[in-house]
Structure 1
Amino acid sequence: MSSTPETAQTSENPEHGEGGKYSVKGKEYTRDTRYITTRVTADGRDGFPVEPGRYRLVAARACPWANRSIIVRRLLGLEDAISLGLPGPTHDARSWTFDLDPGGRDPVLGIERLQEAYFKRDPDYPRGITVPAIVDTTTGAVVTNDFAQITLDLSTEWRRFHREGAPDLLPEAHREEIEEVNQRVFTEVNNGVYRCGFAGSQRAYDEAYARLWTALDWLEERLSGRRYLVGDTITEADVRLFTTLVRFDPVYHGHFKCNRNKLDQMPALWGYARDLFQTPGFGDTVDFWQIKQHYYVVHEDINPSGIVPLGPDLSGWVTPHGREALGGRPFGDGTPPGPVREAERVDPTHTPLP
């Protein structure tokens, strides 16, 4: 997909780079946040009512923005209500592809490239082919790729189809604080690592690096005396931070040059990340092999050799974290999700699981 001179396009969100190019020389990285904002809602006000079995969530495990939606879907028990399509970890400038599926086609949508679903929505779709995307299986067209709104709507608009014991990821008493934390985490951490990795000048990198570590130090202090980011239960805020933290040592530390120190050298953040990883619904959605394949292969201008590092050692993710001593109730008045469904299990050779 084409990019404006001012905007470096990313493979996960929003746009694909052209021929593996993700940074623009001399430019600060700026994320394009224009999405298809149509929503699937309980009242169907945008023309797409919540309807179990009608929609397919296409979400690559490699992508942190898509990983959020996989986690929320699992925590809320929406597996029967909305199916899951899983593109492979690598792609070209055109689109995510379903190369992990038999015959290289999504078994429900029957397409080879996610691009096909975008072009069914708009044959002249001008921007990036991004994940996560919700596709209407009755038409084969994308409904929305607004990743931030997708997880919020899974919690609110799809409530009727939540499993018994589903946690409240957006407790009303903490909504304002969750939104404040989410905003800072998005600009400074979730997107901050990309501002480092895709910086087109030394100055842009230096400024991005300073902002990122200011925010990570703030989080380290915040999580030193509390188990979760907001309140005493897991919320949407924890989901959003986790998908960046779980990628930090494997890719952001080296590949994106976010290398003041590794995550495992920050006691509170490292304990917090392990606590979540070992919580059902989090680590069982993570595929470290796919994550490394994606970043090191797709970002050709950052890693022109295409070599994927064998490290780091991932065994630490399943070591005791001791965070229970801080109290908290992971699922509040709810319960953990059940076992991962056979068709959605991460290859055990790709990631350590507790």
Structure 2
Amino acid sequence: MATKTVLEEDGTIKGFFDWVKQDGSTPFQPEAGRYHLYGQHLCPFSNRATIGRVIKGLESAISYDNLDYVLPEGPGWKFSPEKPGCDADSINGCSILREVYDASAKKLGAKGFCYHSVGFSGGVTVPVLYDRKLGRIVSNDSASILRMLNSEFNEFCATPAQAKLDLFPPALQSEIEEAEAWQTKSIIFAVYGPAYAKTQEDFDAAIVKLFDGLDKAEELLSKQRYVVGKQMTEADIRLFVTLVRFDAVYVHMKCYLKRVNRDYPALWGFVRDIYQTGNIKDVVVFDEILKGYFLSKYMKPVNPYGIVPKLPPLDFHAPHGRELMV
């Protein structure tokens, strides 16, 4: 696969889309200690990558810095080592993530970085996979980073079982991508529709879209343990990172028609199943999730006074019984 990051006609780079590949088709060879992950626990898209890193046992091979979970006004995600749980930039010594983006863009001959923001990340996004050797970002695309962690670093996984784990097996790839397409449209992005609707008509349509999507997922997961096939795949991770935040966060964003733990027994069992898999629970940090959502700048229209709700009593450690499903 060829390098995909491109220099635009206006002299900027609008995103980093390169790949680490074992086959030598890109300048990015898999090596232990060469790559670094920037992320934080607030963002479900960043959580895809942090889950990929721990479930594949790559903590020793790929280092990690946890950014401030609150997105402030101004230049975007920052490093706040003075906050518990947050790190300094251990690789480049930057104070904000935009500096890493701009320096990487200039390495490629660009005059800077320009991102057409999608969603609510404020421009410069996480996760970021960074190459220490070449001194620049490989990718800031969460889906691609998860796939790279899944397939390109197996020789560096902590255990043979983690190396063998394949979240995107060839025989299931078309089914996985089909499932992810409807998940993305009907659940992953749909959770934001009700909160940011500007008319009653838009709100009503957004509520129907979201809960129709959750109903579909409930029906599917009442019949099988995982979204696709008989093994956990990336489709499960992508759905999980939204569902695990639902009762803690999205119900406060006008998605309060139903709750996962009360109204969707199959989804609630699925959430507990994935949460209890490997070390996934270690990178689901609700204190940072709650503060990050409700104190960040993009929530001001919804939460102008910066009130952080309490985590409801959700027992993620309770037995789920889904291992008995065929």
Alignment of 1:169 onto 2:153: no
Return the alpha-carbon distance in structure 1 between the equivalents of residues 61 and 88 of structure 2: 22
Q: Find out whether 1:257 has 2:254 as its counterpart.
A: yes
For 1:126, give the aligned amino acid. C
Deviation of the 1:44 alpha carbon: 4.6
5+ unaligned residues in a row in structure 1: which ranges?
1-33, 328-354
Corresponding letter in the other structure for 1:261: K
Are 1:151 and 2:116 an aligned pair? Answer: no
SS in 1 for 2:137: strand
Q: Is the 8 A contact 1:97 1:104 kept in 2?
A: no
Higher relative helix content: 2
Residue 325 of structure 2: aligned partner? 326
- In 1: Cα distance, 2:19 partner to 2:82 partner: 28
Q: Is the 8 A contact 1:95 1:113 kept in 2?
A: yes
Match of 1:90 among 70, 82, 95: 70
Could you give the per-residue CA deviations for residues 32-59 of structure 1, whole angstroms, max 9, x where no partner exists?
A: xx63212222245343222221111111
SS at match of 1:253: helix
Which of the residues 70, 80, 83 maps onto 1:99?
80
Query: Equivalences for 1:73-222 in 2 at 5 Å?
Result: 73-92=53-72, 93-100=74-81, 105-122=88-105, 123-127=111-115, 128-138=123-133, 140-163=135-158, 164-166=160-162, 167-222=165-220
State the secondary structure of the residue aligned to 1:165.
helix
What is the distance in 2 between the residues matched to 1:281 and 1:185?
Answer: 24
2:286–2:311 Cα contact (<8 Å) kept: no
C-alpha distance in 1 between matches for 2:155 and 2:23: 12
In terms of mean alpha carbon deviation, does 59-68 or 152-161 score higher?
A: 152-161
Structure 1 position 42 matched with structure 2 position 42: no
- Name the amino acid aligned to 2:141: D
Cα distance in 2 between the residues matched to 1:46 and 1:116: 25
The 1-side partners of 2:100 and 2:25 are apart by 22
Mark the CA change 1:104 to 1:158 in structure 2 (over 3 Å): closer, same or farther: closer
Q: What TM-score, normalized by structure 2, do the two folds share?
A: 0.84
Q: Deviations over 1:305-324 (max 9, x none)?
A: 0010123123x222222222
Structure 1 CA distance for aligned equivalents of residues 54 and 255 of structure 2: 30
- C-alpha distance in structure 2 between counterparts of 1:202 and 1:100, whole Å: 43
Aligned partners of 1:57, 1:276: CA distance in 2, in Å?
22
CA drift of 1:230 comes to 1.2
Cα distance in structure 2, aligned partners of 1:57 and 1:241: 22
Q: Residues of 2 paired with 1:84 and 1:158: CA distance? A: 15
Could you tell me whether the CA contact under 8 Å between 1:117 and 1:135 is conserved in 2? no
**Aligned twin of 1:30:** none
User: Residue 187 and residue 322 in structure 1: after superposition, are their counterparts in 2 closer, same or farther (change >3 A)?
Assistant: same
Root-mean-square deviation (CA, aligned residues, Å) is: 1.9
- Which residue identity is paired with 2:66? L
Could you say what secondary structure the match of 2:114 adopts?
coil
